[in-house]
Structure 1
Amino acid sequence: MTTAPTLSHGRAWSDTKLLYALEEVVATELDRHLKVAKEWMPHEYVPWSEGRDFDGVMGGEAWAPEQSKVSAIGRTALVVNLLTEDNLPSYHHEIASLFGRDGAWGTWVHRWTAEEGRHGIVMRDYLLTSRAVDPVALERFRMQHMSEGFESDNRHSMLHSVAYVAFQELATRISHRNTGHHSGDPVCDRMLSRIATDENLHMVFYRNLLGKAFELAPDQTMSAVRDVVVDFRMPGHGIPGFERAAAQMAIGGIYNLRIHHDDVLQPVLRFLKVLQIGGLGPEGLRAQEELGLFMGGLDDQARKFDEKREALLARRRARAERDA
């Protein structure tokens, strides 16, 4: 990628100037998004004929794990993914406060919110109708998680936020797709595949925006990407029991260090040629070097994780064979 910074390396862009400078790019990306995004209806992905009353005021049947077609790891991931989507009001507040509610930025923020809201609707309808998860536990988790709200880790600048969502949207897409593959239910897999398609389009929007930011303010953007990659956490990290669930999802092959490195960070960095960008000032060069070193270290960590995971899975298989 060639860079064409409008300001010298010694002068930093303010958030206001960057928002204004990127407005035309946002409008272009919004038009592209609206042309390629296909309308879909959440109710078409829910197996309504499988639904029945729960216990409580309706006097139905209490939930039990054996009622679910979904695998144990699928249930864990579905709860994490849905609770992440549930915090949409907090996400909307964060992004609307940063990007604004007017012009192309505002139009995009509202469109993004509407599309993300659809994901939560279809996932909850599926989970309850198919009895995939305990509805009482799910609701209690939702109340606890949403009562605590959400505050972004990336409050340094709007560039940090753009960089974060470029990676986070791809991470969410990967998590949804792998959850569907490991769910054991073709209906669930089809639903999450549909959601993942939306998330990929969101990633493309922010990735392209990040690419333009590199042209305008290469040093600042490189520093923001470095900060985000090094300190990256999924937005659902505040979910009750997240650490345990994340560990189970890592072992289950839904989201782990190897996936994070190979399928989330590398594709965005490679597409934007972040580690090959030239013409940087001292700040940008330092950030680029630190980013490269971090990615190498992360690859080593992922390799060690892969070895430990395979050893654990081998022990589980051997134990299952003995117990059979």
Structure 2
Amino acid sequence: MLRSARRTHALESAVTLIAPAPTGIDLLRELEQVVAVELDRHLAIAKEWFPHEYVPYSRGRDFDGVLGGEAWRPEQSELTEVGRISLTLNLLTEDNLPSYHFEIANMFGRDGAWGTWVHRWTAEEGRHGIAIRDYLMATRAVDPVALERSRMEHMEAGYHGDHMDHPLHVVAYVTFQELATRVSHRNSGRECGDPLAEQMLARIATDENLHMVFYRNLLKSAFELSPDAAMRAVSDMITGFRMPGHGISGFERASLKMAVGGVYNLRIHLDDVLQPVLRNLKIMERCDLGAEGEQAREELAAFLAVLESKAADFDERLAARKARAAARGA
């Protein structure tokens, strides 16, 4: 009888040892406790702020149309060209918040800690669009008609990212995307030529950084629960990464201006977005990967090597471009 009990216990232990790592809904349930902890941490750190405090309403005046005001003209904008392009692109990206909320709420759910976080995140992101739009209108920084038409076009197209049907891929994507958005906002402020806009975008960037930390900590816990699947998600999302505003009309042209203007380019993407997260997660030092995870890591390492080469090439071309501009100026 004793030997039978021991044999049963051994079989149960073996099953436990070879039990597959949680994925899909099971993984979301496993992460729920982490979400609750991270939500409490976020609420304790996040500071309340108000969009209207960053909008110079005294500089505003009526536009043409129903109110019979003054039509917008390009010379009314005091922003630099790259600043105007960056703020417009950032705003149009923020405008598509309903699509992002739909995707994330469908994946993570609307109940429990997950649901509380999804709604809180959406509310905080909503402030960003309010602040940027009101600032742009009050300062006449952009063409209001063109902006509204772009908003309608972008929102009508909706948003559905690559691999957004897999929970871990979503967590991996938003981790890098939130940091990319933070960097883009912060650099846009530095390059826009208006101290008030820089202050506003720094405030928004602070929110985005807190969002990144939330998701990064979830991703770190996911590595502990399912390291191979987490590594695959990180590799897939980095090798196929696209900003959520990639569907905006004229995105490529605007992105080129931002790249040359030092707002967001390959070097910034690699050094200020990808590498900080990868270092924090100790991606290249992990010893808990199986064959699938190792393969995903090898694919990632190969991609990063190619990206470094492309970034170095971009750096050289940008330096040459600046040298030619300086020569012309002289």
After superposition, where does 1:275-294 map in structure 2 within 5 Å? Answer: 275-294=284-303
- The worse-fitting range, judged by mean Cα deviation, of 197-206 and 50-59 is 50-59
Describe how 1:166-205 pairs up with structure 2 within 5 A: 166-205=175-214
Structure 2 counterpart of 1:46, one-letter code: V
| Structure 1 letter corresponding to 2:261 | G
- Distance in 1 (alpha carbons) for counterparts of 2:153 and 2:227: 40
TM-superposed CA distance for 1:309, in Å, is: 1.0
CA contact (8 A) 2:21 2:225 kept: no
User: CA offsets per residue over residues 101-156 of structure 1, 9 Å max, x none?
Assistant: 00000000000000000000000000000111111110110010001011111225
Whole-angstrom CA distance in 2 between matches of 1:54 and 1:71: 22
**Equivalent position of 1:44 in the other structure:** 53
Q: What is the DSSP-based 3-state SS (H/G/I as helix, E as strand, rest coil) of the residue aligned with 2:279?
A: helix
Structure 1 match to 2:316? 307
Alignment of 1:262-273 (within 5 A): 262-273=271-282
Q: 1:110 aligns to what?
A: 119
Structure 1, 53-62 or 25-34: larger mean CA deviation: 53-62
Unpaired segments of 5 or more residues in structure 1? 1-5
| 1:14 Cα deviation after fit | 2.8
Is residue 154–residue 164 contact of structure 1 (8 Å, CA) maintained in 2? no
Give the match's secondary structure for 2:63: coil
State which drifts further: 60-69 or 28-37: 60-69
CA–CA distance in structure 2, aligned partners of residues 243 and 193 of structure 1? 25
CA distance in structure 1 between the aligned counterparts of 2:163 and 2:41, rounded to whole angstroms: 27
CA distance in 1, matches of 2:327, 2:276: 36
Q: Which stretch of structure 1 is more off in the superposition, 7-16 or 227-236? A: 7-16
What CA distance in whole angstroms lies between the structure 2 residues aligned with 1:138 and 1:240? Answer: 11
CA contact (8 A) 1:85 1:120 kept: yes
> More displaced, 60-69 or 124-133?
60-69
Q: Which amino acid aligns with 2:32?
A: E
Task: Work out the CA distance in 2 between the residues paired with 1:148 and 1:257.
Answer: 27
User: How much does 1:11 deviate?
Assistant: 2.9
Q: Distance in 2 between matches of 1:20 and 1:314?
A: 55
- Tell me the SS of whatever aligns to 2:31: helix
Instruction: Give the aligned residue type for 1:319.
Output: R
- Amino acid of the structure 2 residue aligned with 1:198: D
> How much has 1:315 moved relative to structure 2?
1.7
2:172/2:219 contact within 8 Å kept: yes
Choose 1 or 2 for highest CA Rg. Answer: 2
Q: Mind listing any 5+ residue stretches in structure 2 that lack a counterpart?
A: 1-14
Instruction: Find the counterpart in structure 2 of residue 54 from structure 1.
Output: 63
Measure how far apart 1:205 and its partner are: 0.0
Secondary structure in 2 aligned to 1:39?
coil
Q: TM-score, normalised by structure 1?
A: 0.95
Deviation at 1:47, TM superposition (A): 0.5
- Aligned-pair RMSD on alpha carbons? 1.3
- Displacement, 1:12? 4.9
CA-CA distance at 1:279 after TM superposition? 2.1
Contact residue 23 and residue 226 of structure 2 kept, 8 A: no
Of residues 67, 72, 80, the one that matches 1:63 is: 72
Whole-Å Cα distance in 2 between the matches of residues 102 and 273 of structure 1? 32
> What does residue range 1-324 of structure 1 map to in structure 2 within 5 Å?
11-321=20-330
Distance 2:265 2:312 in 1: 11
Q: What's the counterpart of residue 3 of structure 1?
A: none
- Residue 280 of structure 1 deviates from its aligned partner by 1.0
Other structure's SS at 1:199 match: helix
- The C-alpha deviation readout for 1:8-27, integer Å capped at 9, x for no partner, is 67835331100100000000
